[in-house]
Structure 1
Amino acid sequence: MPLLRSLDQAATHRYGRVLLATAIVVVAMIALPDNDLGRGFALVLQALLLVMVTVAARDTRSRVLTTIGVAAAFVGVISAAGATLSTWIVLGLSCALAGAMITTLAIGVVALVRTTGVTVQAVAGGLAMYLLAGMAFSDLIGAVAAVGDGYYFAQGTDGTSGERIYYSFVSLTTTGFGDFTPSNEVGRALAVLEVLIGQIYLVVVVALLVGNLTRRDARADGPGSP
């Protein structure tokens, strides 16, 4: 599309904007009501975020990403208009959006590092993937809660969509407030997996990006620099 191609040229690898937009979407999804209107707006926000990601990663011609984004936006508008949708449709599209964004960001950040080295934009892209991982885990929690016999949380609830996102980030960051705790083995295993991924990602991927960014700046400011 001509519009996406023109945006592509203007916003290549602007992952700082993607990081800011991702944080805004996460907060908005936690605050949105757990009803058809809220779920519809959440899908539309994620579809718009996918557009930003594909533009930043210069992947605007991908038919798969376009199909996922259009489908999510269409279903989101229908839900926001008052239509009651299956939980699996909403969860499936939300998980597909998160997976598509993480994959696209990873490819784009790797391409950026290979061409220009580690930059602030690359670090921002890495952090955006971290936030998207939290969103993806909240969808997995919703899926487990939907198929389980009892309540997902020991507090006697499956949680609203916003509460599941909140709990996901509490687990991902190992904050552990304790107001929501999984009640079964599958939930506990998922929590452990998210904790491990969250910590390993920070101490390996983000640390490597920041460490190489620091060394690159130090070389630039070294004795041989003007």
Structure 2
Amino acid sequence: MPAAFANAMQWLARNRQVLLFALLVATTALGPVLAALPSGRVLLNVCLGLTLLATTISPMEERARGRGFIIFVMLAIALGLAPLRQPLGVTGPLTMVVWSVIAFIAAARALRYSVSSRRIDLRHLLAALNAYLLVGVFLGALWVVMEELSPGSLLQGGQPIPDMSLPDGIYFSFVTLATLGYGDITPVTPIARGLAVFEAVFGQLYLAVMVARLVSLRIAEETRDAQ
């Protein structure tokens, strides 16, 4: 059993970026579907918890150095999903903020990993995509927190949003991150507008820098192969 567990952990460590990418895509794609279910909010929060858990998967040598971070993430997930003051699986604003901070740390780690190689491969490419998706998903959680703590920060059709759901927050986050600007949800308070500007600028700069990085790596690789 210990050998099988060790092999399973090694497999997960090698494919951690693939697993994280699958969870992030599933979270964004299934969000609207889960929102229509009676227990959809609980299931979506469980998906977010699993996504955070996937960010802690790393090779054995890195896991030893980051043990404190792993323990912190597991405690945050457990507290967020435990039925303390709210029903099972329903997270409060403070938990969402903590989860978002963890996601940003994980995004920075994924970004650092993606630029650590001189060659382009699937794992490093997925790491770059995961950093982008992590920011989009968990900034969506922060939009929900903002609307809950300061109602009227966002308007939909010119009217306050009575009960902004997490799928709504993720939707608005990616619309802002990609600068689509549909206009169906609008930030109106100074803090909300400031966060929207930050997210839009970050999204454009990230894509520009990452594309430039990938192109430069590809050119360098072709140059090395030609020599």
Task: State the TM-score bracket (shorter-chain normalisation).
Answer: 0.7 to 0.9
In the alignment, residue 183 of structure 1 is paired with which amino acid?
Answer: V
Number of residue pairs the alignment of both structures matches: 217
Aligned with 1:211 (options 210, 215, 221): 215
Aligned with 1:109 (options 108, 111, 114): 114
Q: Does the C-alpha gap of structure 1 residues 216 and 6 become closer, same or farther in structure 2, counting only changes over 3 Å?
A: farther
Q: Aligned residue for 2:196? A: 191
TM-score by length of 1: 0.77
Deviation at 1:56, TM superposition (A): 4.5
Does structure 1 retain, via aligned residues, the 8 Å contact 2:80–2:91? Answer: no
Q: Aligned residue for 1:87? A: 92
Q: Aligned residue for 2:160? A: 156
Q: Aligned residue for 1:141? A: 143
CA distance in 2, matches of 1:19, 1:83: 26
Q: How large is the Cα RMSD of the aligned pairs?
A: 3.2
1:30-61 C-alpha deviation (Å, 9 max, x unpaired) = 43228993333233222322333332566444
TM-score by length of 2: 0.77
Where 1:181 maps in the other structure, the secondary structure is strand
Percent of aligned pairs with the same amino acid = 21
Q: Does the C-alpha gap of structure 1 residues 12 and 4 become closer, same or farther in structure 2, counting only changes over 3 Å?
A: same
Q: Aligned residue for 1:9? A: 10
Gaps of 5+ in 2: none
State yes or no: 1:201 paired with 2:206: yes
Does structure 2 retain, via aligned residues, the 8 Å contact 1:51–1:69? Answer: yes
CA distance in 2, matches of 1:169, 1:57: 31
Deviation at 1:104, TM superposition (A): 3.4
Does structure 1 retain, via aligned residues, the 8 Å contact 2:136–2:174? Answer: yes
CA distance in 2, matches of 1:34, 1:73: 25
Does structure 2 retain, via aligned residues, the 8 Å contact 1:68–1:97? Answer: yes
In the alignment, residue 42 of structure 1 is paired with which amino acid?
Answer: L
Deviation at 1:166, TM superposition (A): 0.2
Deviation at 1:183, TM superposition (A): 2.2
Q: Does the C-alpha gap of structure 1 residues 117 and 214 become closer, same or farther in structure 2, counting only changes over 3 Å?
A: closer
Runs of 4+ residues over 6 Å off in structure 1: none
